[in-house]
């Protein structure tokens, strides 16, 4: 997507040296656009763990390039490097999916052939994600067009949680892809952007993306969504996801479950956008089986922002000595999900519909 008129993919091989890997440092956004130049798998692992690079599909693509960097250095280290990268974050299944795809492509090759093959496979994963997310946009667009047709000359109000835009993928995004396409097609779209405590992916990243693309939006406190739904201010909720089980349960950023409850209570359609790499057919019950990442207390107790005189500072916003808990995801049961927007089309969040759409997935 574009920043200041320049097109970017969220992860790419450096055009000058042809082997190092470039990714945005998302912990610096929205204040500074800084590209990291990563030269080994340890730097990639740190970027994923620290959330310099984040978003389910993007951390999969990033890890794939981490394997490619490692194969340049030591092709004998394939299994160890894959295990290390796979362990960086536990909830997004895209990470395991990408690592397993890299292992399948490389483990049978002679070591001398692994580096070139790893870069080729990582590039294929990245291009697959970009094309997949563009297709998600196309399949989500009719949902917004139908709402616009029912309320001519009024904005279609979409609520989204966290960041499932192009910053969370290689390009386009998942939940935001239909929004970009609707805006570009001239539909009057407005997005309620959940700030998404504690990491503020909505306030810092989704707002940055939508602003850069000229999409009208309003940042709201996470707890405001239910009120807006009660007062008819939300036409549809579209969120991304980090893992969807074979039964249709949805793991996503903490707070998503509460939005789904409010949406059901107010008759607001609740759609989840995902690429094939986010499906985990090995898991049935999301609440009991999906590992939920517990991140550091400091993400809750501290807040980073820009001072009035332009300095980026981190301050404590929780009473001294008070501990904090920080589960980074929750699971929305399939019964609360109106449907899934995939690269192959829209389906119900049911085991039958998922199996029919993805018969090749075991």
What is the spatial distance between Cα 45 and Cα 313, in angstroms, rounded to a whole number? 25
Which range binds ligand LNRAV4D5 by CB under 6 A, 34-42, 105-113, 206-214, 236-244?
236-244
What is the spatial distance between Cα 45 and Cα 51, in angstroms, rounded to a whole number? 10
Active site residues: 242
Angle at 243 between CA 256 and CA 54, to 5 degrees: 80
Which range binds ligand LNRAV4D5 by CB under 6 A, 70-78, 141-149, 162-170, 223-231?
162-170
Residue of this chain nearest to ligand LNRAV4D5 (CB atom): 240
- Indicate whether 272 belongs to the interface with ligand LNRAV4D5 (CB under 6 A): no
Nearer to ligand LNRAV4D5, 241 or 247 (CB): 241
Q: Look at strands 156-160 and 236-239 and give their pairing.
A: parallel
SS3 278: helix
Q: C-beta of 128: minimal distance to ligand LNRAV4D5 in Å? A: 14
**Residue recorded with tokens 């239910």:** 226
What is the spatial distance between Cα 144 and Cα 164, in angstroms, rounded to a whole number? 17
Beta strand spans in 195-262 (E)? 217-220, 236-239, 243-245, 250-253
Q: Choose which of 23, 328, 347, 357 interacts with ligand LNRAV4D5 (CB under 6 A).
A: 328
Which range binds ligand LNRAV4D5 by CB under 6 A, 12-20, 99-107, 239-247, 346-354?
239-247
Site string for ligand LNRAV4D5, 50-89 (x = CB under 6 A): ----xxxx--------------------------------
What is the spatial distance between Cα 238 and Cα 199, in angstroms, rounded to a whole number? 19
Q: Given the rule CB under 6 A, which residues bind ligand LNRAV4D5?
A: 54-57, 162, 164, 168-169, 174, 201, 239-242, 252-253, 328
């Amino acid at each position: 997507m574009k920043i200041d008129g320049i097109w970017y993919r969220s992860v790419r091989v450096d055009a000058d040296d042809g082997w190092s890997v470039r990714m945005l440092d998302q912990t610096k956004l929205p204040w500074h656009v800084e590209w990291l130049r990563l030269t080994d798998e340890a730097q990639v692992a740190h970027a994923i763990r620290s959330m310099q690079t984040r978003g389910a599909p993007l951390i999969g693509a990033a890890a794939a390039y981490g394997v490619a960097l490692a194969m340049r250095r030591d092709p004998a280290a394939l299994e160890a490097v894959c295990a290390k990268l796979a362990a960086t974050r536990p909830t997004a299944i895209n990470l395991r999916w990408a690592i397993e795809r890299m292992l399948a492509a490389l483990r049978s090759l002679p070591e001398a052939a692994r580096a070139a093959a790893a870069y080729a496979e990582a590039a294929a994963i990245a291009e697959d994600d970009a094309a997949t997310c563009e297709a998600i946009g196309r399949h989500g667009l009719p949902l917004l067009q139908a709402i616009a047709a029912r309320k001519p000359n009024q904005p279609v109000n979409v609520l989204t949680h966290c960041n499932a835009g192009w910053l969370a993928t290689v390009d386009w995004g998942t939940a935001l892809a239909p929004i970009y396409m609707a805006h570009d097609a001239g539909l009057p779209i407005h997005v309620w952007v959940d700030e998404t405590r504690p990491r503020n992916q909505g306030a810092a990243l989704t707002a940055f993306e939508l602003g850069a693309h000229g999409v009208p939006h309003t940042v709201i406190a996470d707890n405001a969504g239910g009120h807006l739904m009660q007062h008819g201010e939300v036409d549809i909720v579209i969120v991304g996801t980090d893992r969807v089980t074979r039964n249709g349960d949805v793991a996503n950023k903490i707070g998503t479950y509460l939005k789904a409850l409010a949406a059901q209570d107010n008759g607001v359609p609740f759609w989840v956008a995902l690429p094939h790499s986010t499906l985990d057919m090995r898991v049935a019950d999301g609440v009991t089986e999906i590992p939920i990442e517990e991140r550091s207390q400091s993400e809750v107790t501290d807040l980073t922002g820009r001072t009035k005189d332009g300095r980026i500072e981190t301050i404590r916003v929780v009473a001294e000595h008070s501990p904090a808990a920080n589960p980074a995801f929750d699971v929305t049961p399939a019964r609360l999900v109106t449907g899934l927007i995939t690269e192959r089309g829209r389906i119900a969040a049911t085991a039958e519909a998922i199996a029919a759409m993805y018969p090749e997935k075991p």
